[in-house]
Structure 1
């Protein structure tokens, strides 16, 4: 099954049209024609089945014939991850986290961050593409980048964890610390790790230090390992 994305569809939608870029892809690249069936998600847990009524490269129109609601995952995962120096590494994390199952992502700017500006529009497209490719029906929420100290001042529900590389603290493996079916927020730092003051602030705000294995991982690898661990504990 090939999945398309249209954020404006809801329970009341019957007839609709795709934007020009998607219309061009459907009619010119995929060579779809009137009468063909498409599957579309609104990124909010619903898959719509629709029949093409007009296949034009500027405006492809369709009519919904049925819809199916996908169940929510039994947990909720919020990943707060520092942007990597190279954009493609962070985009790789976004892609894999979407495939595995993440609900919310916040880029956090840290003391040691080499990249302090992100291209949110580009990252949104990466999330959308990964959602469609992996046949997911829930689009992860991507928040604006925020300084870590501001992020820590916000209220976060559920279990709170910070993965850091300091060796003078006792850290439990994430897999042995997680509770299934819980809301979870995990902090992952930049290539230079969190600063001691950032770690201290996170601990004072209720974040528990965790380990993600015996080796030192890159930022994006650590984030994917954390996502996978949460998904596995909820199988």
Structure 2
């Protein structure tokens, strides 16, 4: 197999069922890390994308991943059929991200804004996404799940962050507040520009603890909703001492900070 360079210069592609393909393509039910290269074929959609859109040639190195494993592969194109050779030595499990980060956010007005949130969640390794229909939420949730899956997949391929967030169905604020479970070890941050807010830099982040980040919709939560949020164990957290941020900006800043702290 060709020598693999630093994978930050290699295109990554999601290939559903990759692990089973690797097992079925190997000589045994257990992949031997010291064995020969495994050759598998890719599905028509990915093949068309690699050959027709990206115009990749035989010998190009790519990275493939699914929900369980990732690996590097060398392309071999024969009569418009695309195969890849994978060395068992490059196969790696995709481990859970720690700490576990969950985003709870008031549904935004436009599809583009909500998709921007999903993209940010993927880039920064959010585990669960909980959209909330608050009193001031005026947006509509796209019921076409394929569209959102495409957004998540594109973000994963671009960022090489291979854990896909779980997107939960939107709940009304009352239903969400009843279902939210506060634990003694979780860190619950309510991003709110308020004089009583604690700067995010002072929030203790423990790698083994669950982190819940809550961001309001355009127009913010109502006073009634804020009172309920605080009663659930959320602490007001300030992201900027000089600016009131838009929801999409607040989400990016909060997630970026959390993932920078080890």
Superposed CA deviations along residues 73-105 of structure 1, whole A, max 9, x for unmatched, are 431111112232122223223223322332222
> Which residue of structure 2 aligns with residue 173 of structure 1?
199
- Greater Rg over alpha carbons, structure: 2
Mapped partners of 2:103, 2:49: distance in 1: 32
**Residue ranges of structure 2 left out of the alignment (5+ in a row):** 1-9, 26-39
Tell me the CA shift for residue 71 of structure 1. 4.7
Pairing of 1:1-235 with structure 2 (within 5 A): 1-10=10-19, 13-15=23-25, 17-32=41-56, 36-44=60-68, 46-52=69-75, 60-62=82-84, 64-66=86-88, 67-119=91-143, 120-154=145-179, 155-157=181-183, 158-165=186-193, 167=194, 170-181=196-207, 182-214=209-241, 215-234=243-262
Tell me the CA shift for residue 55 of structure 1. 5.8
Mapped partners of 2:196, 2:218: distance in 1: 21
User: Which one scores higher on RCO, CA 8 angstroms, separation ≥ 6?
Assistant: 1
Moved more, 97-106 or 47-56: 47-56
SS in 2 for 1:225: helix
Structure 1-normalised TM-score? 0.84
Tell me the CA shift for residue 18 of structure 1. 3.6
Q: Give the CA RMSD over aligned residues.
A: 2.6
Mapped partners of 2:12, 2:151: distance in 1: 15
The answer to whether the Cα contact below 8 Å between 1:23 and 1:55 also exists between their aligned partners in 2 is no
**Residue ranges of structure 1 left out of the alignment (5+ in a row):** none
Tell me the CA shift for residue 111 of structure 1. 0.8
SS in 2 for 1:31: coil
